[in-house]
Structure 1
């Protein structure tokens, strides 16, 4: 059976690879090499294998070269797109920073104008009270003068009536010289009374004219007060409403927030006391009530200003930087902060007033700073190269607390910045974006 199979295989090979002989001739001898069918088959298979391997290797090299070229082109395109996006983000950040600076300047200017207007308002109110007092004095003098004039006129009429009565009845007692002396006295008294009457009338007319002038001045002063009140009310609306929107955009309850600031007032300024222009227990005037409303808004503005210092609305990096990773899911894990990339040693600043509760190494955070702020807010600054504060130290917004680095579980130099409310992480950009149009 095996012999038949071998014979059959040999016959098939003889058909495709017949036996061949290769003759090698020399001057003295002739030799030959016999190439069997199996030898030819092995040689053909070896050559075919080498050719196939060469074709496959060449194809792989060509495909790899083409793929590498496409990958490099795609990488270059991605890099250009990334650089374009970074430049756009940098331009947007610079623009927002300029807008924030301009808004800060407008806010400071508005506060200065409010202070000046408040001083003018108080001065105007004092002038108004002085004018009212002057008018009351003039009116009192006028009434007294008119009463004296009426008294003098009544006495003159009585004297004239007495003289006429005595002349008609002829009941003149005493000598004629006495009558003449009495007549002269009465004539002088009448002349004095008439002169006093004329003086009183002139004084009364002057007093009325002066009262009219003071009434006009009072009316002008009232118009000026109305204008100052309107400007103050507009300034308060412009100043308070953006702050209120900022806190609401950050998810903070403004009523609770202001109550907390009012309870823990830190002595920066102080609540503005309402105005009181009456010492007789009277109800305050319309202007006084209006002024008290403005003072209430100014007090609210001051509380907002203090609260803004205590909440993390500022950026932790003031130098040029780029955002490298935002808040949310990343590589299947929750990224609980925002990453800012900049050169090694870039200054890191506190984003709000607070107290340092941690300043040292912590697991994957590397060199970490924790700051406790008001309203149950905490901020974290991770992967630092250097820490510049100590535990228990009180810091203000804008104080330098450390330098950017690459410590801990980090793939490059950057700042990992977190905001936590009640030990629960929130997106830091909520606070940063909320303050874009204010600071």
Structure 2
């Protein structure tokens, strides 16, 4: 059975792969190599496998190349979109900053106007009290004058009843003339007092109208101030909450560091009568409290890294989180964000603080560390030049160095880190939170 199968197989192979001989001729001898059908089949199969492997490998490489090209194009498109979004956010940030500045200016102008209105209100209230006192005196004098006139009339009637004869009346002509003159003067004084009282009442009515108008103006000013404070405080509060920072604790910390007081203590009041505080006084005190909260927020914002370390044109080349290592190709944690720009681009502190390190750092190259309030630290790596020293106090927006390519890098860029309590956090949390404010 095996012999028949072998014979049939050999016959089939002979049909497609007939036996061939390869002659090798030399100067002295001629030899040949016989290629049997089985040998030819093995060679053909090997060549076919080699060709198939080459085709598959070429297709795989071509597909990888096309996929990589598509990935790069997609990455470039995403990068352009992200850059456009950043430019738009930057424009919005500038607009919000201008609005906040305008609101602050309006608040200062309104506060000045409130002071003027307060002075006018006190002066008006003083004049009104003086007029009320004058009116009381005039009315009292008028009552006394009327009473005296009635007494004189009573006495005159009594004298007339006692003197029934004409002779006796004639003998008393002189006292009667004196009494008549006195009555005439009293009547004139009464008429003058009545006229003065009417003028005083008209002046009081005018003063009341002026006071009502001033109160309406004060109410309008208070509403504008309250709206301005709402517009100013709300974005700052949202910024801190977006960054995950406890606002109440931060404000207590700032208030504790800025709590110096002294001098005579004079409470805010719109009256000198020692009465209960008015509604306007309470509203003014609430506005002052909101203004104090706004100032505390602004102080805290200058001490937290909400600013951008690069102000010139740049692009983001690496985000916070796990990524492919550009040197080894392995996957590792990237503890900051990378800003790429030209060599020597100015770098700025993102918050007020103290420089704790300014020197070479393993892998970081030329490295600057700044310690801020609330347990926050920022790091600026791969600099070409450092412009601060250890122990130096810096302010937000102060230039601290130049962008470079020192340390473990593949090109010129800034590696920027934010650490809270020694643990790295995403710096973009702070930068994005401040887009609507700064």
Bucket of the pairwise TM-score, normalised by the shorter protein: 0.7 to 0.9
Partners of 1:190 and 1:244 lie apart in 2 by 78
- Partner of 1:406: helix, strand, or coil? coil
| 1:341 equivalent in structure 2 | 340
| 1:211 equivalent in structure 2 | 204
| 2:278 equivalent in structure 1 | 285
- Structure number with greater Rg is 1
Partners of 1:88 and 1:46 lie apart in 2 by 62
* RMSD between superposed Cα atoms in Å: 3.3
- Is residue 2:317 matched to residue 1:318? no
Report deviation, 1:113.
0.5
- Is residue 2:187 matched to residue 1:194? yes
Partners of 2:65 and 2:412 lie apart in 1 by 26
Number of equivalences: 410
| 1:275 equivalent in structure 2 | 268
Report deviation, 1:306.
0.8
Report deviation, 1:19.
12
Report the CA distance shift for 1:192/1:263 in structure 2 as closer, same or farther (over 3 A): same
8 Å contact from structure 2 (residues 20, 36) kept in 1: no
Mean CA deviation greater in 382-391 or 102-111: 382-391
| 2:122 equivalent in structure 1 | 129
| 2:73 equivalent in structure 1 | 80
* Correspondent of 1:242 among 223, 235, 248: 235
Report deviation, 1:200.
0.7
Report deviation, 1:41.
2.2
| 1:181 equivalent in structure 2 | 174
Mean CA deviation greater in 339-348 or 72-81: 72-81
Report deviation, 1:407.
1.1
| 2:108 equivalent in structure 1 | 115
Report the CA distance shift for 1:162/1:16 in structure 2 as closer, same or farther (over 3 A): closer
Partners of 1:353 and 1:154 lie apart in 2 by 81
| 1:383 equivalent in structure 2 | 382
Structure 1: which 5+ residue stretches go unaligned? 1-14, 23-30
Partners of 1:294 and 1:300 lie apart in 2 by 10
| 1:256 equivalent in structure 2 | 249
Report deviation, 1:115.
0.7
TM normalised by structure 1 equals 0.84
8 Å contact from structure 1 (residues 379, 418) kept in 2: yes
| 1:374 equivalent in structure 2 | 373
- Is residue 2:209 matched to residue 1:220? no
Report deviation, 1:177.
7.8
* Correspondent of 1:233 among 226, 230, 243: 226
Structure 2: which 5+ residue stretches go unaligned? 1-17, 325-330
Report the CA distance shift for 1:145/1:281 in structure 2 as closer, same or farther (over 3 A): closer
- Partner of 2:412: helix, strand, or coil? coil
- Is residue 2:91 matched to residue 1:98? yes
8 Å contact from structure 1 (residues 382, 415) kept in 2: yes
Partners of 1:333 and 1:430 lie apart in 2 by 21
8 Å contact from structure 1 (residues 19, 34) kept in 2: no
